[in-house]
Amino acid sequence: MVCRSAAWFQPFTPSIHFQSPHTAEDWHSRRFLQTTEEMGLARNGIGLRNVISRHLARDSNVSPLPYLSRPWASKSSVSYFSSSNSTHSDSVEKGPDDLIASLRADLKNSMKIKDLTQRDVIKSLLGDLQNSEHNKNRQTHEKVVHSAIKKRLEAAKISLESNPPRLELNKQNLQEVEILKKYLTFFSSSHSAQDSNEEALTKAVNDSIQQLGLSPDATQQERQNSLGKLIKSVKDKVDSNFDNKDIANAVRKALGLC
């Protein structure tokens, strides 16, 4: 009887010489996908990093840490597995993180159907969102969308009040507003907050006037002197979704300085 070593009973691992690192990485990716699907991990991504690290160490002599530290491996691999045959994402509520993905998908579709208006609006909004990310005074995605809508509403008003009225430009701005409004559904607070913003700002202005003890019979000079304190007080009472210009205009209107 021939005595065989214990190594003979181990699974056979072929010696494959890859000509490029991309080929090796693709081979490992296929191994990871097969393993994680069998273990039921591809659906929810639980323990995915540990599975990848463990199989890299087993299937190759390459350390798994440098592989996972690569940006494309740590991001694209996870999104690739988590999106495989996944159905639970449909029940998750939309949020700001989904806005960029939806904008890019709509941009691709608008270019496909040659809808120039929608294409230009989405490009403009994507640019505003990107600029906000790099801006020192970073704004929320919701505030960026509201600002884009407000800018076009003001442009529509100006075009209508011009002499003669520029009806075509007014129609274009209003059409762009309707395109932008659908992206407000990505923010849970947009439905109720947008309607109550004006009431909240008015209440904050009235409360600030009472706290400062400004009399209704105050002279114009006294009201002018208290303008800065009132604006600061109102800013402390409202959230960051209000523009400084809107706050200042509301205070001036309440003081009769408009």
List pLDDT tens digits, range 27-77.
555 555 555 455 554 444 445 555 555 555 554 444 444 434 344 443 333
Side chain identity, residue 237: K
Cα 62 to Cα 32, 72, 212: the distances in Å are 15, 17, 69
Are 141 and 187 within 8 A, CB to CB?
yes
Task: Classify residue 42 by burial, with Cβ atoms within 10 Å: 0-12, 13-18, 19+.
Answer: buried
Question: Could you give the percent of the chain with pLDDT greater than 90?
Answer: 17
234 vs 16, higher pLDDT: 234
**Of 58, 54, 51, 53, nearest to 11 (Cα)?**
58
pTM metric for this prediction: 0.42
Q: What is the average pLDDT across 160-174?
A: 85
- Candidate from 55-59, 119-123, 172-176 with smallest mean pLDDT: 55-59
pLDDT digits (tens, 9 = 90+) for 225-234: 888 888 988 8
pLDDT at 52: 53
Are 255 and 230 within 8 A, CB to CB?
yes
| 45-49, 80-84, 138-142, 145-149: which is most confident | 145-149
Q: What is the average pLDDT across 146-166?
A: 86
Are 197 and 242 within 8 A, CB to CB?
yes
pLDDT at 56: 53
**Of 189, 193, 191, 178, nearest to 96 (Cα)?**
189
